[in-house]
Amino acid sequence: MNILLLLFIFALAGFLGFELISKVPSQLHTPLMSGSNAISGITIVGAIIATGASTGLNFTAILGFIAVILATINVVGGYLVTDRMLAMFHNKKKGK
């Protein structure tokens, strides 16, 4: 059933990741890291599903709620911080 399909997707994404990242120049490593860090906040999708699975605030939903907060910090903080850094790279290029 679709377990194998999921593993297949996982493997393909791994190869894709290797292809994408190995070409990045070293001066962009910090923004790359914080940008990909923001993407790892995708776990928010799981957190939303867990929180919304029932109408009340049972134990599952409480765990999910905390997870939503944490994942959102990861996502929002990660993207904004990356943008701040990259903005500096840009200004500099224009300046010179």
The binding track of 1-30 with respect to another protein, each residue x by CB under 8 A or -, is xxx--x--xx--xx-xxx-xxxxxxxxxxx
Nearest residue to 64 via CA among 53, 77, 73, 75? 53
Q: Which of residues 38-57 bind another protein (CB under 8 A)?
A: 38-57
The percent helix, strand, coil of the chain (3-state, each to 5) is 90, 0, 10
- Residue identified by tokens 């911080």 is 81
Nearest distance in Å: CB 23, another protein: 6
Nearest distance in Å: CB 4, another protein: 10
Nearest distance in Å: CB 95, another protein: 6
Q: Which of residues 56-85 bind another protein (CB under 8 A)?
A: 56-61, 63-85
- Rounded to whole angstroms, the Cα distance separating 38 from 50 reads 20
- Residue identified by tokens 């990259």 is 86
Q: Binders of another protein: how many residues, by CB under 8 A? A: 86
